[in-house]
């Protein structure tokens, strides 16, 4: 399991962690019954405050994604897979709606919009991280 946080992306770090756990469950990288790293382990791995990871884990427990195993830690709940798939769909739809709305308000036509989406998709690549040379640098 590999998580990455970006303090500059406008989303709270605890929320980034919670989203990434949900995405990992939704895409099968984390399976029902699988243990997640301890708060300390993940905090060290991500170089964040343990309280930040603890908040993400509390939220995931409240959302029935993680469940506590007495004396062992936290594991992915049985019902989490479908719940995480739905949450992923909902979140991406919300973000895409905002993106499309802004593109329309800016005057982009459909072809320009989809060209931009393809360029960003290629720039981000398979690892989900924007490559060193950003799109704005390419057009300069």
pLDDT by residue (tens digit) across 9-52? 889 999 999 999 999 999 999 999 999 999 999 999 999 999 99
Q: How confident is the model at residue 125 (pLDDT cuts 50, 70, 90)?
A: confident
DSSP state at residue 71: T
**Please, where are the H alpha helices in the chain?**
13-26, 39-46, 50-62, 80-106, 110-124, 135-138
Decide if pLDDT at 100 tops 60.
Answer: yes
Tokens read off for 39: 């708060």
| Bigger pLDDT: 94 vs 136 | 94
> Please, which residues have CB within 8 angstroms of residue 11's CB and are 6 or more apart in sequence?
19
| Bigger pLDDT: 129 vs 118 | 118
| Bigger pLDDT: 98 vs 138 | 98
Residue 9 main-chain phi, psi, to 5 deg:
-90, 0
Q: Give the whole-angstrom CA distance, residue 61 versus residue 75.
A: 10
- Given this model, what pLDDT does residue 128 score? 58
- Please name the residue that has the structure tokens 């099968």: 28
> Please, which residues have CB within 8 angstroms of residue 61's CB and are 6 or more apart in sequence?
67, 68, 74
- Given this model, what pLDDT does residue 127 score? 61
- Please name the residue that has the structure tokens 């605890």: 14
Q: What is the pTM of this model?
A: 0.76
């Amino acid at each position: 399991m590999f998580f990455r946080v970006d303090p500059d992306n406008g989303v709270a770090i605890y929320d980034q962690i919670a989203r990434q756990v949900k995405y990992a469950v939704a895409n099968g990288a984390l399976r029902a019954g699988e243990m997640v790293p301890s708060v300390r382990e993940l905090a060290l791995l991500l170089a964040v405050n343990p309280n930040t990871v603890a908040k993400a884990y509390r939220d995931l427990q409240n959302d029935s994604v993680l469940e506590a195993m007495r004396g062992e830690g936290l594991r992915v709940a049985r019902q989490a897979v479908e719940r995480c798939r739905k949450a992923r769909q909902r979140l991406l739809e919300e973000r895409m709606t905002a993106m499309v709305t802004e593109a329309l308000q800016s005057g982009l036509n459909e072809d320009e919009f989809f060209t931009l989406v393809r360029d960003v998709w290629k720039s981000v690549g398979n690892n989900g991280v924007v490559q060193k040379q950003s799109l704005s640098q390419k057009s300069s």
